Amino acid sequence: MQAVSESGVFEREAAALMAIMPTVYRLLNNKSPREFHPCTDRCLYYHSGSTATAIVLDDLKEQGFRLADRTVGLDMQHCLLDMKAIAQSHAASAVLHLKEPQIFKPFIESFYCERQRNTIGVILQSNLKFLAKEVENWRLFKDQLACKLQTG
């Protein structure tokens, strides 16, 4: 899709995975050696070209990670573990921004920037319509949410 290509979203994703997150994790590991355990995948390979764009990531199953049952969700222990990891990563990224602000330069313009507004708006409206149609099938939330999604 041209809008995604023009936005540079994959380039920013690759930059975050290959430059920022390893640096954030190094900061966290230096602060608490052997206590910090990254819970995201590493970017093993990235390619951007006219024929295809690809981001290849670690298989986290090999490190013992597994998806929670989507019908049940996470228990409190795993929610707290997740929130702690997110908080640590955000705090370390703020420290990194103070130390090396130039590393964040590729992230100044958002995917949802003014230049992309019309194109992204059409995509989001279309997706919202599909979501509203799906929510109409959800017995418990149909009356509560479907009409809100349909009106956008």
Give me the pLDDT at residue 77, please. Answer: 93
Same domain as 17, residue 72: yes
Same domain as 125, residue 68: no
Q: Half-sphere exposure (CA, 13 Å, Cβ side) for 11?
A: 15
Same domain as 52, residue 119: no
Same domain as 117, residue 74: no
65-88, pLDDT tens digit by residue?
Answer: 888 888 888 899 989 988 998 999
Give me the pLDDT at residue 93, please. Answer: 94
For residue 3, is pLDDT > 60? Answer: no
Which of 67, 88, 63 shows the shortest CA–CA distance to 78?
Answer: 67
91-146, pLDDT tens digit by residue?
Answer: 999 999 999 999 998 788 776 777 777 777 888 888 888 888 888 888 877 777 87
Number of structural domains (the chain) is 2
Asked which of 93, 110, 127 is the last residue of a domain, the reply is 110
Q: State phi, psi for 73 to the nearest 5 degrees.
A: 90, -170
Radius of gyration of the chain (CA): 19
Which residues lie closer than 8 Å to 140 by C-beta, 6 or more apart? none
Partners of residue 46 on adjacent β-strands: 55
Same domain as 91, residue 58: yes
Residue-range definition of the domain harbouring residue 124: 112-152
Q: Taking the model in full, what pTM does it have?
A: 0.66
